[in-house]
Structure 1
Amino acid sequence: MNRRHFFRNSSLALAGTGLIGPQPLFAASAQKAKNIIFLVSDGMSTGTLHMANLYCERTLGRSSHWIQLYKDRKASRGLMDTQSANSIVTDSAAGSSAFGGGFKVNNGSLNIHPDGRENMPIWQKFKKAGKKAGIVTSVTATHATPAGFCVTSKSRNAEPEIAEKYLELGIDVVMGGGDEHFNAEHRKDKKDLYAAYAAKGYEVAKSRDELQKISAKKPLLAIFSSGAIPYAIDRENDPELKKTTPSLAEMAKSAIEVLSKHQNGFVLQIEGGKVDWAAHANDIAGLIYDQLAFDEAIKVAIDFAEKDKNTLVIMTTDHGNANPGTISGGKASEGFDSIRNYKKTNEWLLNQITKDTTASQIKDLIHATNGFAPTDEEIKSIKSYYDDIVRGEDGLYNYKKVPFKLYSEIQKKYNYIGWISMSHSSDHVEVAAYGPGSELLQPYCMNTDLHYLMLQAAEVPNSF
């Protein structure tokens, strides 16, 4: 059957019913994609992509894997509009729902159309087409971005219910953090979801060692932490965390190992969720190192796709965040290179300080962690937040009210990294594709377009 006619007919059968989205008319793909790996660096502004590559070039002596794909002309590339149904600035729930459901929805909801209609998530469509489906993330497995490919929910915050929905839907790989949503000791309803998954035939892993020992012959639930998984730089510089917690690339490799055994193919979403959290905190070490961890997951996906020859790999983000970037100055190069001396995230550093920490101790802590010696005035401004802890900064994922913004402004004097805010932004973002179906990617697209691109590339009709 002609592939253009296959997809068009399956879509037009529902035309006028309100059940399909505003689809672009793609040209026919030359080859069917058996598998799809969709990678999302959550909250990745273009400056984040650039600085990760700059760090690779200046410190590691190579390009990032994402940028190398561009240099080798192996990937299609486009700019993508990310706005949601009710705002030019999307949140992660609406952003993922655009990919997942093919429609723009209101911020905060998962695949619920503004008129109340439920949009079937794309991984459900692929499951109905006979493929295995999985999600991998560095935040909670039930967070907005992975959930947007799998479930419908009026609220992205219904994470305990989302954990149950994954099991009901038979999502074949569920991997990330979020023990509190699976553990009977922490769930309000006292349901033991670990036992429930195991009863349905899932292997359950709760550590890096257990992940490395899975048989890869059964569905997999792998939850490694309460809340999000530790930042990549904190994991890298903590032997215990490195021993017990897998990297995003290791999780991606295990997920592919489980899913790729299925003869009818698979679909997998991989999210670098803490890139977004670091941007919210204006935390440059957290940002760059988690983007690099995401970049290593890209390598895992591309290595598999190059060998497999039947896998479409898509790399993008759901939205920008804080628009970080290198700024002009006589020591801009030297300042950027100083980031290689950072040993921990700002989150880790600022949570070491209490109202009883002395100025001298703060100075020593910053020098040991970031490699520079703050001035007395800078130390005084930091200490003032802890003298009256109630006054600490607000901000998403700033649960302990530490002075993220203040400290990033101090760091800027030494590393020449600027930020426009601590919030999401509306700018166009990068999207790239490799493998069969990558030629369908247009130079400019809406986030909803990727939903239909995936369906066409794999010849899965939009008619369930």
Structure 2
Amino acid sequence: MNRRKFLRGTTVLTGLFTISPSVIFSNDLEAVAKKGKKAKNIIFLISDGMSSGTLQMANLYSKNILGKNGNWMNLYAENKVSRALMDTASASSAVTDSAAASSSFGGGHRVKNGVLNIGPNGEKYLPIWQKFKNAGKKAGCVTTVTITHATPAGFCVNSDSRNAENEIAEMYADLGLDVMMGGGDEFFNASKREDKKDIYKMYEQKGYQVLKEKSDLENIKKGQRTLGVFNSGALPYTIDRNNIAELQNTPTLAEMSAVAINQMKDNENGFVLLIEGGKVDWAAHANDIAALIHDQLAFDEAVKTAIDFAEKDKETLVIITTDHGNANPGLIYGKEAVENFNSIANYKYTNEYILNAIHADFNLQQIKDLIYQTNKISLTDEEAKHLLSFYSGLEKQETGLYNYKKLPFKAYSEIQKKHNNVGWISMDHSGDYVELAMYGPGSEMLKPFVQNIELHNLMLKAAAVIA
């Protein structure tokens, strides 16, 4: 047989089943689509502020206490995903905030911390969810913090300030985004806004159904544009919701994610959806291990929701990552490290809930009783005195992001550390490289190490969208 003809023939045959690297990495979007690798849908999951230690400890807790491996880690164990490390820097720092990080994904450019898709000279970078809307796809965001917060906003709008949440609430309506769910009633409710604008009414006039209770998800009108605002401020931490009856009228991240997918999945041109576990970041800022682990596990359930859909759908690219690290928590070496770590199963509430329950008129025994009832930790008299000092005004210096009451988060986490072997390097963001995983059409384009801005064009290329 002629060797040249044989080789040419085998190339044709193998081409029926595989895509050559030149096609995978080319800018020829038409070629990618023709090879059957086009992503009709994209689901982008962000566990905000998730350091690698957060992922590890949540998975260890899941295995040791719940008796199962985590969904994200199962994707690694079963070799189902492409995996990379990602550099999360912003234009102004090696340590990003959530606005600049989200803008890297959303606008494809690194911007300064604090702004959303605005360049150094006022350039406006068109956010990616707008690009996909222009291409005929439906677009949505669900989060456990305010829906107007930095991470969802970075996929959707341009703003000089991440703090302009009143304005961002109005921008979403003007853009006609299809599903928006999370917290933030104060940015929509006329009685809570300084300008007294009724933003809910604005949405209703544009044809949106407005949801305010978890039960509203059961009576949703299929396919109709949806605004779900289930709390003032962020949604409750998962562990508090699980143990406090009055908080159980708010949905979980996985429940919101499933509804959002169902609302958009029948669109002939597909959909794009951001899913954010926003309170993972807030828990890290507070050095609150119970809050951190349980909200990471709640995020992990949303990962399962997305992957379950994608495995059946076959046309969905799922991206799983974080926007940056935070506080770099980790399990610390010790003779009884694992046993001590497992004691976190005794924690029934967040540190935020526990520390809010302490008052200046408490005596030492009352504090000791409260801590034992909620964490099964027996405080010494000195530890109880130290905690009480924060409430008597002697040590009111503890601040930290999202700690306007100046609760002694750091002091209490140091006490817990003696019992659970969990340490923290800070109460703020970190510049470490972070985990990134992809499943589905387009995931083969992922390189082992990427900058955050590269995901913008990867999504467009995977969906064969020219913007």
Same fold at TM > 0.5: yes
Match of 1:208 among 201, 214, 220: 214
Normalising by structure 1, what TM-score? 0.94
Q: Name the CA distance, whole Å, in 2 between partners of 1:270 and 1:151.
A: 16
- Asked if 1:253 corresponds to 2:282, the answer is no
- Residue of structure 2 equivalent to 1:368: 373
- Residue of structure 2 equivalent to 1:397: 402
- Asked if 1:228 corresponds to 2:234, the answer is yes
CA spacing shift, 1:227–1:8, aligned 2, 3 Å: same
Q: Deviation at 1:5?
A: 10
- Residue of structure 2 equivalent to 1:146: 152
**1:43-82 to 2 correspondences below 5 Å:** 43-82=49-88
Normalising by structure 2, what TM-score? 0.93
SS across alignment from 2:27: helix
Contact (CA 8 Å) 2:29, 2:461: kept in 1 or not? no
Q: Deviation at 1:10?
A: 8.1
User: What amino acid maps onto 2:398 in structure 1?
Assistant: E
- Residue of structure 2 equivalent to 1:314: 319
Gaps of at least 5 residues in structure 2 are 1-19
Q: Name the CA distance, whole Å, in 2 between partners of 1:367 and 1:77.
A: 42
Q: Deviation at 1:298?
A: 0.4
| CA shift digits 1:15-45 (9 cap, x unpaired) | xxxxxxxxxxx99975100000000000000
User: What amino acid maps onto 1:454 in structure 2?
Assistant: M
**1:32-43 to 2 correspondences below 5 Å:** 32-43=38-49
Contact (CA 8 Å) 2:287, 2:409: kept in 1 or not? yes
Q: Deviation at 1:264?
A: 1.0
CA spacing shift, 1:234–1:108, aligned 2, 3 Å: same
Q: Deviation at 1:216?
A: 2.1
| CA shift digits 1:188-230 (9 cap, x unpaired) | 1111111111111111100001122112220000000000000
- Residue of structure 1 equivalent to 2:304: 299
- Residue of structure 1 equivalent to 2:466: 461
Contact (CA 8 Å) 2:25, 2:445: kept in 1 or not? no
Q: Deviation at 1:240?
A: 2.3
- Residue of structure 2 equivalent to 1:382: 387
- Residue of structure 1 equivalent to 2:98: 92
Q: Deviation at 1:389?
A: 6.8
CA spacing shift, 1:61–1:29, aligned 2, 3 Å: farther
SS across alignment from 1:136: strand
- Asked if 1:199 corresponds to 2:177, the answer is no
SS across alignment from 1:427: coil
Gaps of at least 5 residues in structure 1 are 12-25
- Residue of structure 1 equivalent to 2:27: 8
User: What amino acid maps onto 1:407 in structure 2?
Assistant: Y
User: What amino acid maps onto 1:181 in structure 2?
Assistant: F
- Larger deviation, residues 195-204 vs 156-165: 195-204
- Larger deviation, residues 209-218 vs 407-416: 209-218
**How many residue pairs end up in the alignment?**
446
Q: Name the CA distance, whole Å, in 1 between partners of 2:365 and 2:33.
A: 65
**1:133-212 to 2 correspondences below 5 Å:** 133-212=139-218
Q: Deviation at 1:140?
A: 0.2
User: What amino acid maps onto 1:8 in structure 2?
Assistant: N
Q: Name the CA distance, whole Å, in 1 between partners of 2:282 and 2:295.
A: 10
SS across alignment from 1:58: helix
- Residue of structure 1 equivalent to 2:345: 340
Aligned-pair identity in percent equals 62
The structure with the larger Rg is 2
Contact (CA 8 Å) 1:29, 1:440: kept in 2 or not? no
- Asked if 1:240 corresponds to 2:246, the answer is yes
SS across alignment from 1:391: coil
Match of 1:271 among 267, 276, 280: 276
